[in-house]
Amino acid sequence: MAINNLGKTHITNAQIQAFDNALAVINSISIAITQNLNVGERKKFKRISEKNKLLINKVTDYHTNQPALQSPDVNWPEYDLDFADRKFADTRLFMLDGVIKMLTDFKMVHDYDNYTDALRDYDYTMYKQGNSPGFDAKRADIRQFFPNTGSKKNKVPPKTP
């Protein structure tokens, strides 16, 4: 038996509006605080490795707990601001990844429902064609999405020795 109607929870217009409003706020704040790196800059700066993140954390620990050992060549107030910003970004990216996964799952079940219902409708169209007006044209229009169905063209016969 086929699985039907996985997406039983549907979003309301009020929820769509609230979601869009929240995204608009997040987007406007992000535009104000972020840099838009070009391809060359992305290659130059790239993400740092986990090992280098550990280095940053270790230096920050020394800076916080043993400030007498820190370099006078580093602008430590700026370092602290950068560290706080990357911590903020890291936690928010983690939260956004969760939202993206939930929204992707939400879309997948509704895609599946629409697809299975579309196949069911196509089967009905195939059943009704030739007997009811309009179904022949509908079948011809939808058939383009099934290019390999029932076609025996271009089949190469097996070679005989």
DSSP one-letter string for 12-69: -HHHHHHHHHHHHHHHHHHHHH-----HHHHHHH-PPPHHHHHHHHHHHHHHHH-GGG
Count of domains observed in the chain: 1
**Residue 126 domain-assigned?**
yes
Please tell me the pTM assigned to this model. Answer: 0.73
Note the pLDDT tens digit of each residue in 79-132.
Answer: 999 999 999 999 999 999 999 999 999 999 999 999 999 999 999 999 999 999
> Does the pLDDT value for residue 30 go beyond 70?
yes
Cα(24)–Cα(84) distance, rounded to whole angstroms?
24
Domain that holds residue 56: 49-145
Give me the amino acid identity at 152.
Answer: K
Of the listed ranges 5-9, 74-78, 93-97, the one predicted with least confidence: 5-9
Mean of per-residue pLDDT scores for the chain: 91
Cα(19)–Cα(15) distance, rounded to whole angstroms?
6
> Does the pLDDT value for residue 23 go beyond 60?
yes
**Residue 43 domain-assigned?**
no
When pLDDT is cut at 50, 70 and 90, the band that residue 6 belongs to is confident
Per the CB < 8 A criterion, the answer to whether 99 and 92 are in contact is no
**Residue 42 domain-assigned?**
no
**Residue 19 domain-assigned?**
no
**Residue 100 domain-assigned?**
yes
The fraction of the chain above a pLDDT of 90, given in percent, is 78
Of the listed ranges 12-21, 51-60, 141-150, the one predicted with least confidence: 141-150
**Residue 101 domain-assigned?**
yes
Rg (CA), the chain: 29
> Does the pLDDT value for residue 13 go beyond 80?
yes
pLDDT score of 159: 59
**Residue 21 domain-assigned?**
no
Cα(27)–Cα(23) distance, rounded to whole angstroms?
6
